[in-house]
Structures are given as structure tokens and as C-alpha cells.
Chain A
Amino acid sequence: MSDTLTLDSTLIAAVLATLLPFASFVLIMVFTRNHRRLSAGLSIGAITVSLISAVFLLVCHWHLQTPLQYFGRWVVSGDIVIPYGFLLDPVSLLMLTVVAAISFLVQGYSLGYMADDKGFSRYYAFMSLFAWAMLNLTIAPTLFQLYIFWELVGLSSYLLIGFWYEKFSASQAGKKAFVMTRLGDVAFFLGLLLALVHLGNLNILELNSPRVAAQMSPTLITVSALLIFGGIIGKSAQFPLMTWLPDAMEGPTPVSALLHSATMVAAGVFLFCRLFPFFSQSAVAMGVFLAIGTITMLLSSTMAMVSRDIKQVWAYSTISQLGFMIMGLAAGSFFAGMFHLTTHAGFKALLFLCAGVFIHALGTNDIFEISRLGGRRLKVPTVCMAIAAAALAGLPPFSGFFSKEVILAALAELDNPIWLVAGLLGAFLTAYYTFRLIFILVVPDQSEPRQPDDSHGHAGYWQMGGPLIVLATVTVLLGFFQGPLENFFGNHICSVSAHTGSHGWLPYIAIATAASGLILAWVEFGRRNSARVGFVERIGWLYNLFSERWYMDRFYRRFVDVVIYRIISGLCTQNDNRVIDAGLDALSKDAVQSGRFVSELHLSMIQYRLLAIFVVVALLALYFFF
């Protein structure tokens, strides 16, 4: 009796968590576009219920042994069955809570940040759309459902990046983000089809079961894993499709915090976790993933070292941390990826939200400008940002330290030490660029005259401050929950690779690396009378290389302009106009011309034709009579 009751309450909670934001999206779009407070209320109300349901689910199923699945009939066509349903296991429960929590905090924060915007209601509608899609993505029991909401998440990302559509750069960035992720999604979709054709369905649990090896050859598994990883590359902005994410910072800052750092871009990593057992069946694919994660992490760290735009720095850092998670997962540690995903969601959202307060108060993205205008006098965001930065850099006792250490431990397990070295190098660069920004921001610049201002009084400061404090608390405390979380996942199938050897020396190395990055940053930017010029900026070509994003963007731009637009599209259009159309026009003109020709035969020759008639009649007569 009690058993069925719990099941029912679970189902109701899952339905509430996933469907309410959609209802609020529809209501806002259709009815309350002109009622700002009502729209915000609807959206925040919906996400609050989702959050409560998600927490309820997490608490109820903390000791979950076997994953729960619910299916409802959605689409049936021939032998293709696409159910709508829920899959509750540690991965989805944790992700559901993370997504709901950060959505809730960001929506609360946006009350202050977006207060003066004329698209206030639209903003909340899109936020609800995103929450709906993302929550359904996390809880999807089949890859079909996951793919569907994956696309919708991409759509909401497009809409939110281009939210200020009067700015050309914003709409351009939205388009770029959509098309680049679409490119990855096409690979993802093909991978899905490949798996579908050989397995008959795309249930995630069945995909993860060892039975798959019996139905698909190793080559096929590798190919479909690589194709599905294409989707991850697109969504999580991995090499070579990484350049859309920095541009996506054109969107409002809370959007960057929610979508483009904490949750949506993490969906790629989440998918990796989801299909972890499936992916681990192919060693080749895992090797490729590891390489891509490493390249991404290092490349984007270098880009972050030279950027002056506060949001860009955090965007590059997001890419690099996502690469880091992929490395951990590809190194074989499921828990490492998931744990870093969780902690990263907390501190990266915090970093963006802090940046948002500076931008909102001071009206600039440039870190030197923020420093000059006295950004450090905004106490709450400065302190919170420092905490989050310490977590990002991997300093104890903040959450990032613990999760990074797990990833590094996983890398240390690998035979080839180069991955560990790369990981440590990444950690060093991360600490360097993080504290470069913090020192620029915090340490007053003596060369500039101080300008008096009191930005404390501006509207919405405390509305924005609340979420910051909550997230900062989480960042400080989350690291100590490593044990329980590991237990939580330990119950689950995902204990594919347990920690075997202990690397007692690893935490010290990690701390030392992070500390050396911090010290380098302090020497260059924090010291009294420091020149405030990084070592990269002293090397011209290196600086250009990094700040031009390794010329990737230029390459893509030229590729699209020349190959897609000019050559292929141009050729097709020419073919349409000059060959097919012109050919048919010529054909019809020829028909008209031949008509002319025949009509000229008939011209002013009435008597000849009469003669012809007579001759023919006479000949016929001769023929018949003689």
C-alpha cells in the first residue's frame, strides 16, 4: 500500500517538475505578455514548484537501488515507438535538482537584473521554455525524448542569446550558436539512427546494458558513439565547435549564467554521463573523447588568458571546464565528471551572476574599466566572486578543489602520463587566468584617479545579492558532500571504474599547481606597482593567436562565406537560373519561334495554297479514275 503511494507521489512530482514550466511559458506568451509582474510570478512560481518536486524526488530516492521508469504512449508509427516518460536514477535526480535550483536562483536574480527591460515578460517566457526543455532532457528515459528536448534547449538558447534582437551582434551570435550546435546535433541524430536501426529502440537503460555488444559489432558501437559525441561537441562547445559559446555572451548575463555555463552547455556532459556504459564499450571512442576534451581545455584556457571582457573570460573558462569534465569521464571515472558538473554548475553560475552585478551597476564588460570605476566597492559580488574564483582555480576548501582532484585522480590512473600533465597544466592556466581577473578587479590601480561613486543604492541590488549568497554558501559547502554523493552514485550501475590505487600525493600537487598559477597572477597583476601586463601580452604573435581564438572563427567565417555561400549555394542557384530555368525558357521560346516560322509559311500565299489544293484534287482524281 505505502509502496504504491510512494510510486504515485513520485510520478506526480515528476510530472509537476517537468510540465509546469511549459504551462507558464504558454500562459505568458498567450495571455500575460503585457503584465510584467504576473509573467514573472508565473514563471518563478512554476520553477519553484519544480524545484520543490525535484528536491522531494532527490530526498525520497536517496537510497535508490534500481532506476525507476515511467512510460506513457506518445508517438507510435509502424514499429517505431517513442514513449514519453521519466527515468529516475541518480544521474537524472541530481541533474534535475541542479537544473531546477539554478533556474530558480537565476530567475529570482533576473527580477533585479532585467527590471528595466521592455522585454521582461518575453524573457520570463523564454526562461520557462528553457526550464521545461532542460528538465525534460534530464529526466528522459529514451534517447528520442532526450534528443527532442535537446533540440528545444538549443532553441531556447537561440532565443535567449538573441534576446536583445535590436543588436545585430546578438542576433548574429544566436544564429551562430544555433547553426553550430545544429551541426553537432546532426551527427547526434545520425548516431541515434544508427543505434536505432541495430537495436530496435533507444531506451537509455537498454543502451547501457551489456547486451548491446551482442547486437552491434564493436565498429558500429564506436561509430555510433563518435556520432553521438558529435552532439556533445556541439552542445558543450568542445573543439572544434567551441567558438559559439564566447559569442553567446551577447545574451543577458543571467542567461549566460543559467544556459551557457551552468546547465545547458553541461547537457553535453550530462549526455556523456547518461551513456557512460555505452561509450565505455568502445576504447577507441573513449580515446578520441579524451583527446578532444584535452585539446578543448587547453585551447580555451589560453584564450581566457588574454581576454579583457569579464563575461568572455568566464565563457572560455566554461569551455575549458567542460573539456575537463569530458577528460574525467573519458578517463573512465563516471563520478568525476558528474561531480565536477555539479560543483561547476554552482560556482560558474555564481561567477556569472557576480559579473552581472558589476555589468548592471557599472555598465561595462571590460575588467579594467570595472576596476577603474571602483567595482570592488560592491562588497557582496566581489567577495562572492573571489570565493567562486577560488573554487574554479581548485583551491581548498572550496567545492572545485574536490571535484578537480577526482578528475586528476582519474587521469592519473591512465597509463600515459601525458594526460595527467595536460590536466595539471590546465589547472595551472585556470588558476592563472582566474586570479588575473580577480586581481585586476580587486587591487586598486594607482595610475588612475579614483572616481567617487555610490553604486550601492541602485535598484535590485539585494534582489541580485540573495542568490549570490546562496550560491556562495553552496560553493563553500558542496565539496564536503563528496562522500555521500559518491555513495549515491555507488548504488547505481555506474560504478564502472572504482578508484583502485590511491594517489596520496595528488592533492598536494594539485594545490601546488593552483597556487603557482595564483602566485604568477599576483606577481603580474596583484603586486603593488605591477605593470598589469600578462606574460602572454608581451609576446605579440602569441597574444594575437590567443585573442583571435586560434583563428578558428576566421576560418569558419571564410569557410561559410566561400564554400557554402559562394561556391555550393552559388553554383546551385546558377544551375537553377541559368541551366534549368533558362533551358526551359529557351525551349518555350523555341516553341514560339517555330510557331512563327510555320506562320510565315502561311504568309500572303493564299493563291499558292489554292493551287496546291487543285493540284492535289486533280492528282487524286487521276489516281482514282485511271
Chain B
Amino acid sequence: MEFTGFPYLTAILISCIVGLVVIILIPGQRQVQIKWVSAVFSGITLLLSIYLFFAYDKSRGGLQFVETYRWVKTPGITYFNAADGFNLPMLLLTGIVFFTGVLTMWELDKRVKEFFAFYFLLVTGVFGLFMSMDLFFIFVWYDVSLFPMYLLIAVWGTTRKQYAAMKLTLYLLAGSALVLPAIVFLYAKSGLNTFDITVLMQPGTFTAAEQKFAFILLYIGFGILAAVWPFHTWSPVGHVAAPNGVSMLHAGVLMKIGAFGILRVGIFLCPQGWQYWAQLMAVLAVIGIVYGAFVGLSQTDLKYVIGYSSVSHMGIVGLGLATVSVDGLNGAVFQMFAHGVMTALLFSAVGYIYDRTHTKVIAELGGLSHVMPVASAFFIIAALASMGIPCLATFWGELMVFIAAFKTYPLGGVLAVCALVISALFMLRVVQHTFYGPRKEQYAQLADVPFDLGLPRIILLVVLVVFGLYPSLMFDMIETASIPFINGLP
């Protein structure tokens, strides 16, 4: 075992697993106890990820908090966790969404124990994937995070939940079926007998042809998870069917796994393949941005609208990755973080509303600002963030991506920017029909969100505003990874 200092990264995983075990040991009837345990353990992971985010030495850069343990020696599998400028934002995001997701599900009363157990299992996989630097473990964590998602949607979901859960699982397994051969291919071709990314990413390990082949497999495989057009249809359906806490994780974190996988595995190991396929990535991303916005325009279900806006926003991430530039990477990673927080807030806000009104159909809602002004404000602010209003975090990610895209792909950049009008139109349409308008009789008795239930939304909102007002906090972090990486490109 080689640890430099206290193993904070493993501590995150351990607190998830311990939380899981404790939840399993508590009898199912003690729902409140289970919720408190979940909140405490997810809070610990949040604190740890915040600590890591600020303890990371930006002047030094590179991999820090390294933990390695040669697990299986013959095939060269290493338990290798490390933090750098790319995965720390993701760890922070996961911590935030995890904690707020647990709080958002505070009112759950159906099979509470099982729900939180699977929730913890899912998050363990996500955390593991983000912090791992070993291909084998990345693949294992990827599958660990896929499996609980099926049950979480199929058991606790709402609209067409069986269909959605099955669709999601099939899609994601198809992605994993593309990723696995690519990983095995790279492992075999390297001849180094190791899954260690830092070793495999040395220039000259793979020929250009090998990189091109492996990258396209990895891009599509992880791209399915990142809802790259045209592999996106699982995500709105899944968003809609999932219970709200799961939607938060699903749109906030799980889709980021895809984009992060493209970055960590595809781009790190196959930089030449990346440059070769960049134009394809840009085309698909721009189509995704524009298309997602237009489809979102004619949706009638609140959560479908958010789902398609996610498709559009993940297109922006894809466009950033496709630019092969520092700004593009900065923008893409920032957008991953910002979109995660923003969409978590949207789902969290919708969650409160849906629990009260029992409908997500926009036409049946209306005038909610009269009865629940604070709950409405949460949604409206998140919707504004989704439109790219400055001083909310998403603006900066979009800005950087658009600048980078405009330099590399002028036409694509122009189209993507024009989609901003459409995304403004559909978000405002939703806000108008859901929250504005005259007071409706059937909702007159509903209560506004109290402070304790509002807490997760407040946390998300504060994060959104803090990173919106002072984005350097994040950009400085990402730059420690993106600048050396781009400079090191052949």
C-alpha cells in the first residue's frame, strides 16, 4: 500500500459503504432513523469532497492524494485513486448532489430502507469511477453504478417506470458493451500488462490507428451515458420515470459519468483518436444542442422539459470536449459541474411540487407562485440558470465552450449560440404556465416549502450562485489539469 497521507478518497468510498451496511442493519420500520443515517453518511462524503476540493494544491497541480495498492498482480490491476483538476469538480458535484438528494427524498415512505441502500450503492459506484485511475476499476465502478439504477426506477418510479427502467438499463449496458472491448483492446495492445491510466497514457503507447479505433468505441460507449445525440432517448424517459432524488443523481451525476469517461479514458488514452474524431463529436454535439432545445419546446410534461434541456446542455459539454483546446476543456468540465447542480435543483424543486400537486403535466398546473412562492422561486432560478443567465454558474461553462467552439468550429458555434433563444423560449414557457397565471382553486390549500424541506434546494442554489459570481474558484482548479494536458498533446 502506498498512501501519501490520510486516504481521503478511500475514506469517501468507505463512508458510503459503511452507510450502506448500517442502513441494511437497521430494521425497515425505523424510517426516520434510516433517513438520519443516510443524511449523516452522505454529509460526511460531502464534507470530505469539499475538503479535498480546497485542500488540493493548485500551484503544484498534477495527481494528488494518490492511493495505490497492487490488487491482482498477474494482470496488473491496481487499486489506484487520485485527484486532479478534472475529477475534483466531479467529486464535489457528486457530494453535493448525493447529500441534497438524500434530503430531497426525506418525505419518502415506501420501502425506505431498500431505497437508501440502493441509493448508497449507486453513489459508491459513481464516487469510485470519478476517483479511480485504473481502467479495470473504472469499468467495475461503472457497472456498479448501473445496476441499482434499474431497481430505483422500476420500484420507486412513476410514469411508465418499467419501460423506462428497462430502456435505460439496455442502453447503458449497450454502452458498457462497447466500452469493455475498447478497454480490453487497449490493455492487450499496450503490452505493458497494466490497467494503470498514468502508464498507458504515455505518448507512443498506442499507434494512431489503434487510438482511432479505440476512441470511437469509447466515445459511443460513454457517449450513450452522456446522452449524445442520437443516443439520448433513454435520458428524458429515465428522468421522467425516476423518483426525484434519483432523477437528481441521474441527470446531475450519472450523465456526467459518460462525459467524464470520454475525458478520462477516451481522451487521456487516445489523444490522437480524439483529434481525429473531434469533428464528428462537434457535429453530434451541435445537433444535440439545437435538437434538444426544439424537442423541449413541445413537451407537455414538466420533467420531460427538463430532460430535454439536459440533452441540450450535455451537447454543450460535448461541444467543449470536441474543440481540443484549453478553453473547451475548461468550459466542458465547468459545464458538467454547473449543469449537475442546476438540474439537481430543477428536479428537487419539481419534486416538492409534484409531491403536493400530484401532477407533472404543465397544462394542469398554473398559478403556483401564489401558494408556494419560495418553492417556485427555486424552480424559476434554476430555469434561469438553464437559460444561461449570468451570475448563475451555467453561464460560465456555456461562455467558455462557445468561445472555444467559435474559434474551432465557427458554424457550429453560431448554431449552438442561436439555440440559446430556443432554450430561453421553452424554459420561460414552462415557468409561465406552471407558476404564473391566476390562482387555481385545487392548489389553494397547498403549503409553501418549510425551511427544513427547503434545505437541499437552498444548498444547491447557494452553490449555483457562488460559482456564478466567482467562477475562478472552479476554473483555477480545472486549469491545473487542462493546461498541462493540452500542452502535452503531440
Partner-B contacts on A (CB < 8 A):
73-80, 147-149, 151-152, 155, 158, 162, 165-166, 168, 170-172, 174-175, 178-179, 182-183, 186, 189-190, 193-194, 196-197, 564-565, 568-570, 572-573, 576, 580-581, 584, 588
Contacts and interface: CB of A to CB of B under 8 A. Distances in A.
A77 B331 contact: yes
Contacts of B170: 588
Contact of B233 (A78, A158, A190, A580): A580
B384 A584 contact: no
B421 A75 contact: no
6 contacts: A76-B475, A155-B389, A165-B437, A166-B370, A182-B421, A576-B233
B70 interface: no
A75 B471 contact: yes
A570 B298 contact: yes
Interface stretch (B53-61, B176-184, B196-204, B422-430): B422-430
Of B325, B384, B391, most A-chain CB atoms within 10 Å: B391
Contact of B369 (A165, A170, A190): A165
Given A74-B470, A189-B402, A193-B406, 18 more contacts: A75-B471, A75-B475, A76-B475, A76-B479, A77-B330, A77-B478, A78-B330, A80-B400, A147-B390, A151-B390, A165-B436, A171-B436, A179-B425, A186-B418, A189-B417, A190-B417, A568-B294, A573-B299
Contacts of B395: 148, 151
A151 B389 contact: yes
A147 B389 CA distance: 11
A168 B471 contact: no
Chain B binding surface SS class: helix
Contacts of B369: 165
Contacts of A565: 297-298
Contacts, number: 127
A358 B41 CA distance: 62
A165 B400 contact: no
Contact of A175 (B331, B422, B432, B472): B432
A338 B389 CA distance: 29
B399 to A, nearest CB: 8
Given A175-B429, A175-B432, A193-B413, A77 B475 contact: yes
A21 B460 CA distance: 24
A75 B421 CA distance: 25
Given A166-B367, A569-B294, A78 B479 contact: yes
Nearest to A570: B298
Contacts of A178: 424, 428
Contacts of B268: none
Given A75-B396, A148-B391, A151-B390, A569 B298 contact: yes
Interface string B470-490: 111001101100110000000
Closest 3 CB pairs of A and B: A78-B326, A171-B436, A165-B436
B16 to A, nearest CB: 32
A154 B400 CA distance: 21
Interface of B: 167, 170, 230, 233, 291, 294-295, 297-299, 325-327, 330-331, 367, 369-370, 384, 389-391, 395-396, 400, 402-403, 406-407, 413-414, 417-418, 420-422, 424-425, 428-429, 432, 435-439, 470-472, 475-476, 478-479, 482-483
Chain A binding surface SS class: helix
B295 A573 contact: yes
B330 A569 contact: no
A171 B437 contact: yes
A189 B299 CA distance: 28
Contacts of A580: 230, 233
Contacts of A168: 436-438
Contacts of B370: 166
Contacts of A79: 326-327
A87 to B, nearest CB: 18
Contacts of B384: 155
A151 B363 CA distance: 29
A76 B78 CA distance: 36
Contacts of B478: 77
A197 B421 CA distance: 23
B476 A76 contact: yes
Contacts of B367: 166
Contacts of A190: 406, 414, 417
Contacts of B167: 584
Given A193-B413, A197-B407, A576-B233, A77 B436 contact: no
Nearest to A189: B417
Contacts of B432: 162, 171-172, 174-175
B294 A572 contact: yes
A401 to B, nearest CB: 39
Contact of B439 (A166, A194, A568): A166
B175 to A, nearest CB: 13
Contacts of B425: 175, 179, 564
B390 A564 contact: no
A188 B432 CA distance: 26
A193 B483 contact: no
A564 B407 CA distance: 28
Given A151-B389, A570-B298, A572-B295, A77 B479 contact: yes
A189 B330 CA distance: 19
Contacts of A76: 472, 475-476, 479
Contacts of B389: 151-152, 155
B233 A584 contact: yes
A197 B396 CA distance: 17
Contacts of A158: 428
A311 to B, nearest CB: 21
Contacts of B436: 162, 165-166, 168, 170-171
A148 B420 contact: no
Contacts of B327: 77-80
B472 A78 contact: no
A175 B233 contact: no
A147 B398 CA distance: 14
A152 B472 CA distance: 20
A12 B233 CA distance: 54
A183 B418 CA distance: 8
B390 A197 contact: no
B368 to A, nearest CB: 10
A584 B295 CA distance: 18
A78 B230 contact: no
A277 B123 CA distance: 56
Contacts of B428: 158, 174-175, 178-179
A564 B297 contact: yes
A573 B307 CA distance: 13
A117 to B, nearest CB: 14
B252 to A, nearest CB: 22
A186 B437 contact: no
A570 B472 CA distance: 40
Contacts of A570: 298
Contacts of B413: 193
Contacts of B483: 78
A371 B263 CA distance: 70
A77 B437 contact: no
Contact of A182 (B331, B420, B437): B420
A166 B437 contact: yes
Contacts of B294: 564, 568-569, 572-573
Given A78-B325, A179-B421, A73 B230 contact: no
Contact of B403 (A73, A152, A196): A196
B55 to A, nearest CB: 22
A179 B478 CA distance: 33
A152 B400 contact: no
A569 B384 CA distance: 21
Contacts of B326: 77-79
Nearest to A176: B428
B330 to A, nearest CB: 5
Contact of B472 (A74, A147, A170, A576): A74
A162 B436 CA distance: 9
B371 to A, nearest CB: 12
B472 A73 contact: yes
